[in-house]
Amino acid sequence: MNGLGSAADIGGILGWGIVVAALMIWVERRLLAFWQERLGPNRVGPFGIMQVMADMLKLFFKDEWVPPFSDRTVFVLAPVIGMMAALLGLSLIPFAPGVGVADLNFSLLCLLGLASLSVYSPLLAGYASHSKYPLLGGLRAAAQSFSYEVFMGLAAMGVVMQTGTFDLRIIVESQREGWYIGPQMLGFVLFLIAAVAETHRAPFDLPEAEQELVAGFHTEYSGIKFGMFFVGEYIGIILNSALIVTLYLGGWWGPAFLPPLAWFLLKLAGFLALYLLLRTALPRPRYDQLMRFGWMVLLPLALLNLIATAAWEVF
Residue-wise pLDDT tens digits, 263-281: 999 999 999 989 888 888 8
- The span from the CA of 102 to the CA of 4, in Å, is 5
pLDDT the model gives residue 190:
95
User: How many residues belong to the chain?
Assistant: 315
pLDDT the model gives residue 15:
80
Q: How many CB atoms lie within 10 A of CB 217?
A: 34
Query: Is the entire prediction scored with pTM above 0.95?
Result: no
* Overall average pLDDT of the 144-173 stretch: 92
In the chain, what are the helix, strand and coil shares in percent, each to the nearest 5? 70, 0, 30
What mean pLDDT value characterizes the chain? 87
| 237, 66 Cβ separation under 8 angstroms | no
- The burial of 227, by beta-carbon neighbours within 10 Å (0-12 exposed, 13-18 middle, 19 or more buried), is given as buried
- The span from the CA of 185 to the CA of 212, in Å, is 35
Residue-wise pLDDT tens digits, 184-233: 999 999 999 999 998 888 788 888 877 777 777 888 888 888 888 888 88
Q: At what angle do helices 7-35 and 260-281 cross, to 10 degrees?
A: 40
DSSP per-residue string spanning 102-161? EE-TTHHHHHHHHHHHTTHHHHHHHHHTT-HHHHHHHHHHHHHHHHHHHHHHHHHHHHHH
* Overall average pLDDT of the 152-177 stretch: 93
% of the chain exceeding 90 in pLDDT: 33
